[in-house]
Structure 1
Amino acid sequence: MKWNKSIIFFLLILFVVGLLTSPFWLWQLKHSKELNVLIMDKTVSDSSYREHAGLIWVLNNQKYVKTNHAPYSKQRDYVGFNPLKEKHKQLTHLPKDLSSYDVIYMTDQYGIDKKDASRINSKHMEGGLALEDVERVESALLQNTNKTLIAEFNTFADPTSDQAREKITNLLQLSWSGWIGRYFSDMESEEIPIWVKERYERIYDDKWSFKGSGLILINSDDHLIVLSDQELNSGAVQFSTTDKGKGLFNQPIISNYGYWFDIVAAKDKTDILATYTLPVNKKGKAVLSEYGLPRQFPAVIQYKNKQYTSYYFAGDYADEAEVPAIYKTVGLDMWKSSITYRHSFYWNSYVPIMKGILKNGLHAEDHASTNAEITTVNHLKINTKTDDTYIQVLKDNKWTNLLVKGVNMGIAKPGSFPGETAITKDEYFRWFKDIGALHANAIRVYTLHPPAFYQALYEYNQLAEEPLYLFHGAWINEETLLDKQDAYAKEVDNDFDRELKNMIDIIHGNASIAAAPGHASGEYTYDISKYVLGIMIGIEWDPEVVKNTNEKHKRIASYDGTYFETKDASPFESWLAQKMDETVKYEVDKYDWQHTMSFTNWVTTDLLKHRYEPNPKEDMAIVNPNHIKTTENFHAGFLASYHVYPYYPDFLNYEPAYKSYINKQGKQSNYGAYLQELREAHDMPVLIAEFGVPAARGKTHENVNGMTQGFLSEQEQGNFDKEMFQMIVDENYAGGLLFAWQDEWFKRTWNTMDYDNPDRRPYWSNLQTNEQHFGLLSFDPGKYESPIYIDGKKKDWEKLGISPLYEDRMTQKGIKSIYVTSDEQQVNLRIDYQQPIDLQTDTTYLLLNTIEKQGQQTISLKNETIKSTFGADFLVKIANEHNSQILVDSYYDSFHYHYGSILHMIREEAYAKKKDNGVFHPIRLTLNKELELPDTKIPFQSYITGQLLFGNGNPASKEFNSLTDISVSKDKKTIEVRIPWALLNIKDPSRKEIMADLWQKGLEESVQAKGIQIAAVMEREKEIISSFPKLNRYNEILAADTKWYTWEEWEMPAYHERLRASYYLLKDAFSEINLGD
């Protein structure tokens, strides 16, 4: 019995010991897992290695080992700054070859002070993510499979360069707002960085005196916001997982986060795994709203494609000062988590996040092939063909109809002309991702792009679930063609042949193009031939060139080639058949390939007769695709391609038969009527290769159904684009390519092209020129965000630190202060009032002078007349929504001078030739010259473009209207106004170039402005209640008392990309509209 008791006691002791030691021996029983992790950490200020020590603990605790089966060491297993080494060896660099690494983990890339590693935010900082490093990481991710990238806060903020930031945010599929922040429970604690206090005192000219809790937000422009406990609820910043995050991490995670974070946005909201919620009350929300900042935003973002998976942690998650030395144990993290509850973000959130990612979230190779498929016919490769209606592609080795949903992509961006081919690979790559997310399946380019385009397209298609196809164009030298008026001219023909051959070599990754002005050049090594959906040669053919070519070559018989032939064709049509035949022959002979062929056409040279077209040139020539046939040797298919817009040519508005047409959606549509007529006239598939409307302030053409060329908001643009695409599909077209993907600042429009400097167009955004604003992608002023949003709020002005041009704090009524600033797009004015204004009774007038020695010096207001010792060239009237506009001195009215004095299309007013004649004119743009129809005449048409529209110009607002010129604050004590540069007769704001004296120098001449001289007068009922400067007793403004606004000239514009509201509307359309619906 004694013996039995001893055994039981012994076993009990063993059990207790085993239980107590189980965390250790259970860890020993676990299998180790080989995982090669590259850690990048440039912010190692001491031997704690705190920025990556927390990661090392997780790896070792979860028994991940290096390729030599050794555990990870925080001292050795990272690249970056090492404070224990000799000074010249302190910074270690990335290995040249990253192919062996499974995970690349970027912790803090901020850097250290070269003179004192314990200091931060000093002028001696060395750090930031190097461009060379991110390029190496990018190459590893795109050229190798099964890699995972993880990055944390301070990966792309200052001091990382713009180029490196662009690359890494591309890879992570997010955008940075430029803001960082941190919550402090005690604003008097020593944790508040000295540089934060110094910056606050410098910006606000006030001592740091905050107590209690607070939230500090800082942006990349050096502005700082402090939300005190008066704007905050109790509690810290809350971290919480989304449903998707719960699934990956195997649990919901809710925790307080108390360290630095940055405010980012995911390109795709479904990629968000966790969010932050700021602890703001109603007052705090109002402050955030003023700055356009969200209360809730992503904390963890996962991006996944075929090639790699990435994670971004918008905080210093691996940063843990007190990491236990012991890691060979099971359950320590859960014990730590339970005893710290929400107080340790590391144990409560970071460790389970990393465990979830390491177990379930590392990139796994997708063996399912989604690459574009090819097949062989008579030893020739093809990837597409056509039936009677559609292009077909191979899917699972079966020919399948493809409804083309795509966009046209130009070759320029702000600050460059097309011939400079300045778009970078990172920009192309980012755009392709956005286009893929649009549910588009095709893009079209008009000409040869630089090598970066083809590399980016190739790399994108290695990542994409579905390939993005390409229609490749070949541009003809338009200037030579117009000069020779003959497509067969040797100069035209030889140059076009060279372009066509270069195009074929380029798409097969086999071209070396020498540098030439105005052309893309370089080494083309990426074979994208299987992604080419079709080759579309040529341009919108000038009807006179077509007509003259046909007349010059009447004796040319029909063309009979190897792959193309013609029947009943004109000489011009035979020339097109020959060019396509020669292109196919070159590709077959050199590469054993054939691609679907087409040529560009447009309404002007379509095969229909338009009796109600008032301009004879718009209906003088025909290019008929039906006259061109393929031979039995061509297997890839042929289709017609047209550019079709709803507002041009003019017959689209006046054709009587179109007015009774009801489209498949039950709406009357002239555009739909034309589409139906055009489609029925063809015996082959027809692609609408261009369609769309611009989101621009200026207007050029009108449309009877409202689809005008200009003066459309982004929402209107999107809805009309959606409507047009639906009609294209309903009328059995092969699909449509929207014009355009991106805005093009270099473009001109016929009714504004005489009023700007053509050599400087790419350097500023002309809101009056609608051709510049067709894009789904807008280029807005400002590096990260627009400097000023016209939304009635003051905070963006405060953020910029703009001082008032005029200010009178003593006045009891009327105008309190006036602020002015400008950007690459417009002049922005802010007027603060002492009391809420009533725009039914209150009218504010701004007198603007830009050109010296002219302008109006006697100005009639609503009820009063004032005088000025300087000439006002423009009068801005701010009244109610129907009566607010900008007026121009009739002597300086370019519209009246141009169409009255020069072209004699409107009545010329005798008084307009005289300076200071007492008359202001509305600012107008021309819409149409006089039109003659078979049964009537349409008089000259113009519209008032100086009318100012009320609304909210902030894209973040639910009430956003991109046409907004005036916005009034909620308390009605502030008004913001935008004035597009062109409305002030400014030809090039980047050089302060303005129109000269029109009547002495003409439209062509210009002068440099000093700036804008500004005065203001406010009328209430029948009296003037305030003015800047003060009126003297003669009701006169003295020039000596006025203020001038001037601005810095610029060479390269500052801008940022923004997907327009129309992008999301078209995204819905491309997703919803499919074949068989």
Structure 2
Amino acid sequence: MGKTWIRRRIGWLFLTGFAGLATGYLLWGPTAAQVDAHQTEEGYSLKFRTSQTDMQVYEEGEWRPYFVKGINLGASLPGRYPGELPIAKEDYLRWFGMMHELGTRAVRIYTIHQPVFYEALVEFNRKHANDPLYLIQGIWSPEEALIEKKDAFLPEIRTEFRNEIEYAVGAVYGDITIPERSGKASGTYSANAGPYLLAWHIGTEWDPEMVKITNEKRAEEPRYQGDHFQASAEASAFESWLAEMLDLAAEQEAMRGWQHPVTFTNWVTTDPLEHPGEPMLHEDMVSVDPTHIEPIRWEAGYFAAYHVYPYYPDLFRYDVSLQNVRNQKGEVDTYKAYLRKLREHHSEMPVMVTEFGVPSSVGAAHRGLLGRDQGGHDEREQGQINADLLREIYEEGYAGAILFTWQDEWFKRTWNTMRFELPEENRAYWKNELTNESFFGLLAMDAGLENILSIDGDVEDWDKLKDNVKKHMNGTMPGIRGMWMTHDEAYVYFLLRLEQPLRPEREHVVIGIDTIPGGNREAQELPGLRLDEGLEAMIRLGDSDESEVKIASNYDFHKRLYGKRYGMLPYPDEEQRDNSGLFLPWKLAVSLEMSPPDTKTTHPLEEMTVGQLRRGTTVPGKQGYSSQANWETRGEWLELRVPWMLLGFTDPSTSRVMRYPSGEGSLTSTESEGIRVLAMLQEKAEGSIKGVRAGQIIRLTELDRYSWPVWSLPRFSERKKESFSLYQKALDSIPTYR
């Protein structure tokens, strides 16, 4: 055993106290021998190491090349934010079992979790000693301070990150008490999960402007030379700073007698490649190159880790240099081409993709080639795309693939919907189907009624609802015999009883929605009809290509923001008038207008329609099944669910809707007294509404309102998505040992 290690070990024992060591190692944690670890000449235990371009695992007395099949795990639940650390030990234990069933053998967390996480991991792995679930421990960098101050070398940033590294290593090895900190994990850590560690993964996605300015400000800083990691002669100042942080993580772990592979977070925006086809200068501003950092006296090794999605940045669509590779289907595949180039750059070290995937959301935020958009997928499409991406990562010689992510997280925000979610602090209380970031999980977090009300046209599940949950509404016209409504944290539900089964080739069902004063009192969708109060939204159901929600033109969030405020879209005066009579398709921006000097060339704003309502069923196995089905009929019954935001709601938990323009530039919300609904049957040929005479006035103000109490504790339930089984099959098809 090396003298250096002995000195550090003795010093650590005096610092922590032998009682804490005994608790961590004897009561909670397994010994090195119990997990079949390799012993180095210096006395360190190794379970994983890097070798050339492979990750290796030590099993049955030998090192074997190992492909890491992992999944990322967030720290939130519906109605709660990550800083609240709401996940209980029984949640972790249940999830670990499901991850194991999925076929993953590594879970990556981004930051320190509460002590119960490590306790649950040790407990689970004791029961699966021959096939454990390994941990990739992330260490969160001072992201906000780095972005704000743009100098990684500032003493307060350096100190904060160093403290976090020391806390993280102590948490994993179960020998630390972390003081209470706002929004961060704390408490006494006594479960030794160190023998189940696979790797350390420090930092977050680096802001390119911060990296660039740090490099300029600190160009004269000496290149870091540590005991276990050093910056090479080619390293930038920021890369040298990273070498110091990696070295500290290694130093802290060495004091515990272990070594594990180490990496730092990186992404396409700060990769070391050149991207001549990337339109945004910001996305190819600066590089952070893992090859400029070298491990020394660290037998566990070092690898590169990247977050790589097929839709961001825009180089995946525009860079001609990536359009020279075809996938197994014969398609031009820029994602596969990028993986190949990135792998080639790191020719002497392993590389993992530690984030990838697509969400199962109605909304989308970016376009990708081959239909790999950031959203707009049902669960089957999500599973198929994730499976394809996994296979390509494996085919291109990567050391592992860590899918993003395990569970859906309602609190997440996205650039193209966050301005419409007001107040933003209530975002976690409801499930916005238009916010794609909330739907990357393989484990759905369904709203309260999603596991009760199946969209299939069958009224049996409605019959089980209590009268205080559903309400009979009186806003029906000839052709409609009755209407009922209910809601949960994701949808407003409608049940209509028609006079006869719907004939989509001959007629539409039209449903007008009123939430606040204003809107369209007349419209081409309402021929011959005048209302005494306006409508904010119009729902039309019929053929598949015409079933959608439209929004009153002067109420249109999208046009008000990108047309009136930013001038990226035409927004004629006639569309901005109250009672314009126009209902417009519900759209989201998927790429903003880009022009020099921020970009190399000019690109117009891109948008996509998100108000389409899919006919089908949410009952798995039935014909027409889709996780995104909105409506279906059975005989005279029609069942429909509509996402809250499509009806104008910015926060249904407090009944807030978007306010009409009132002179101020920003979008603001106001409280709604509830939803008034008018349901009609419209003949396609004549365009007339059944039973309505020309000029007839309907007193909308005399109709019932559907209202509900405020909520702050949302109801939710877990469910394996259809993508779970599809991804499970993909994992099973890929060898664990290369």
Tell me the TM-score normalised to structure 2 length. 0.91
Counterpart residue identity of residue 648, structure 2: N
**2:643 alignment partner, one of 954, 974, 980:** 980
Q: Give per-residue Cα distances to partners, 1:311-335, cap 9 Å, x unaligned.
A: xxxxxxxxxxxxxxxxxxxxxxxxx
Aligned residue for 1:576, secondary structure, equals: helix
CA distance in 2: counterparts of 1:1040 and 1:927, whole angstroms: 37
RMSD: 2.2
Match of 2:487 in 1: 822
Q: Give per-residue Cα distances to partners, 1:822-841, cap 9 Å, x unaligned.
A: 10101111211121111111
Match of 1:418 in 2: 82
Match of 2:582 in 1: 919
CA distance in 1: counterparts of 2:392 and 2:100, whole angstroms: 22
Shift of 1:931: 4.2
| Conservation of the 8 A alpha-carbon contact between 2:205 and 2:267 | yes
1:776-815 paired onto structure 2 within 5 Å:
776-782=442-448, 786-802=451-467, 805-806=472-473, 814-815=479-480
Q: Confirm whether residue 647 of structure 1 aligns to residue 311 of structure 2.
A: yes
Match of 1:598 in 2: 263
Match of 2:439 in 1: 773
CA distance in 2: counterparts of 1:727 and 1:370, whole angstroms: 35
CA distance in 2: counterparts of 1:372 and 1:626, whole angstroms: 31
| Conservation of the 8 A alpha-carbon contact between 1:829 and 1:977 | yes
Q: Confirm whether residue 1052 of structure 1 aligns to residue 713 of structure 2.
A: yes
| Conservation of the 8 A alpha-carbon contact between 2:68 and 2:736 | no
CA distance in 1: counterparts of 2:268 and 2:578, whole angstroms: 46
CA distance in 1: counterparts of 2:460 and 2:436, whole angstroms: 30
Match of 2:607 in 1: 942
Shift of 1:937: 4.3
Shift of 1:1048: 2.5
Aligned residue for 1:1051, secondary structure, equals: coil
1:758-907 paired onto structure 2 within 5 Å:
758-782=424-448, 786-802=451-467, 805-806=472-473, 814-852=479-517, 854-861=518-525, 864-907=527-570
CA distance in 2: counterparts of 1:557 and 1:1051, whole angstroms: 52
CA distance in 2: counterparts of 1:834 and 1:664, whole angstroms: 52
Match of 1:1067 in 2: 728
1:562-577 paired onto structure 2 within 5 Å:
562-567=227-232, 568-577=234-243
**1:1042 alignment partner, one of 703, 709, 719:** 703
Q: Confirm whether residue 586 of structure 1 aligns to residue 252 of structure 2.
A: yes
Match of 1:336 in 2: none
Q: Give per-residue Cα distances to partners, 1:347-389, cap 9 Å, x unaligned.
A: xxxxxxxxxxxxxxxxxxxxxx984635334122222110112
Q: Confirm whether residue 672 of structure 1 aligns to residue 336 of structure 2.
A: yes
Shift of 1:807: 6.4
Distance verdict in 2 for CA 1:370–1:948, change over 3 Å: farther
1:435-834 paired onto structure 2 within 5 Å:
435-464=99-128, 465-567=130-232, 568-588=234-254, 590-631=255-296, 633-664=297-328, 666-682=330-346, 683-756=348-421, 757-782=423-448, 786-802=451-467, 805-806=472-473, 814-834=479-499
Match of 2:659 in 1: 996
Q: Give per-residue Cα distances to partners, 1:293-344, cap 9 Å, x unaligned.
A: xxxxxxxxxxxxxxxxxxxxxxxxxxxxxxxxxxxxxxxxxxxxxxxxxxxx
**1:395 alignment partner, one of 50, 54, 59:** 59
Shift of 1:398: 0.8
| Conservation of the 8 A alpha-carbon contact between 1:1017 and 1:1024 | no
Distance verdict in 2 for CA 1:753–1:665, change over 3 Å: same
Unaligned ranges ≥5, structure 1: 1-142, 145-368
Counterpart residue identity of residue 1067, structure 1: Q
Match of 1:1022 in 2: 686
Distance verdict in 2 for CA 1:867–1:940, change over 3 Å: same
Aligned residue for 2:266, secondary structure, equals: strand
CA distance in 1: counterparts of 2:461 and 2:658, whole angstroms: 31
CA distance in 2: counterparts of 1:957 and 1:524, whole angstroms: 48
Shift of 1:776: 0.3
Q: Give per-residue Cα distances to partners, 1:167-199, cap 9 Å, x unaligned.
A: xxxxxxxxxxxxxxxxxxxxxxxxxxxxxxxxx
Match of 2:632 in 1: 967
Q: Give per-residue Cα distances to partners, 1:903-960, cap 9 Å, x unaligned.
A: 1111132123321122221111001123469996432210111122222123464642
CA distance in 1: counterparts of 2:142 and 2:458, whole angstroms: 50
CA distance in 1: counterparts of 2:328 and 2:557, whole angstroms: 44
Shift of 1:778: 0.5
Shift of 1:539: 0.2
CA distance in 2: counterparts of 1:877 and 1:490, whole angstroms: 60
Counterpart residue identity of residue 439, structure 2: H
| Conservation of the 8 A alpha-carbon contact between 1:754 and 1:1003 | no
1:125-164 paired onto structure 2 within 5 Å:
none
| Conservation of the 8 A alpha-carbon contact between 2:471 and 2:706 | no
Aligned residue for 2:444, secondary structure, equals: strand
Q: Give per-residue Cα distances to partners, 1:748-780, cap 9 Å, x unaligned.
A: 011001000320111111100000000000001
CA distance in 1: counterparts of 2:374 and 2:491, whole angstroms: 21
Counterpart residue identity of residue 638, structure 1: Y
CA distance in 1: counterparts of 2:461 and 2:183, whole angstroms: 40
1:229-244 paired onto structure 2 within 5 Å:
none
CA distance in 2: counterparts of 1:594 and 1:395, whole angstroms: 16
Shift of 1:1076: 6.9
Distance verdict in 2 for CA 1:576–1:394, change over 3 Å: same
Match of 1:375 in 2: 39
CA distance in 2: counterparts of 1:957 and 1:376, whole angstroms: 57
| Conservation of the 8 A alpha-carbon contact between 2:529 and 2:694 | no
CA distance in 2: counterparts of 1:967 and 1:891, whole angstroms: 31
Counterpart residue identity of residue 581, structure 2: G
CA distance in 1: counterparts of 2:118 and 2:676, whole angstroms: 50
1:43-58 paired onto structure 2 within 5 Å:
none
CA distance in 2: counterparts of 1:428 and 1:620, whole angstroms: 40
Aligned residue for 2:533, secondary structure, equals: strand
Aligned residue for 1:1000, secondary structure, equals: coil
Counterpart residue identity of residue 397, structure 2: N
Shift of 1:663: 2.7
Aligned residue for 1:871, secondary structure, equals: coil
Equivalenced residues, count: 700
CA distance in 1: counterparts of 2:682 and 2:34, whole angstroms: 68
More contact order relative to length (CA 8 Å, sep ≥ 6): 2
Match of 1:1013 in 2: 676
Tell me the TM-score normalised to structure 1 length. 0.63
| Conservation of the 8 A alpha-carbon contact between 1:894 and 1:1003 | no
CA distance in 2: counterparts of 1:722 and 1:676, whole angstroms: 18
| Conservation of the 8 A alpha-carbon contact between 1:996 and 1:1003 | no
Q: Give per-residue Cα distances to partners, 1:271-291, cap 9 Å, x unaligned.
A: xxxxxxxxxxxxxxxxxxxxx
CA distance in 2: counterparts of 1:1034 and 1:805, whole angstroms: 28
Distance verdict in 2 for CA 1:1025–1:566, change over 3 Å: closer
Counterpart residue identity of residue 917, structure 1: S
Shift of 1:989: 0.8
CA distance in 2: counterparts of 1:815 and 1:433, whole angstroms: 49
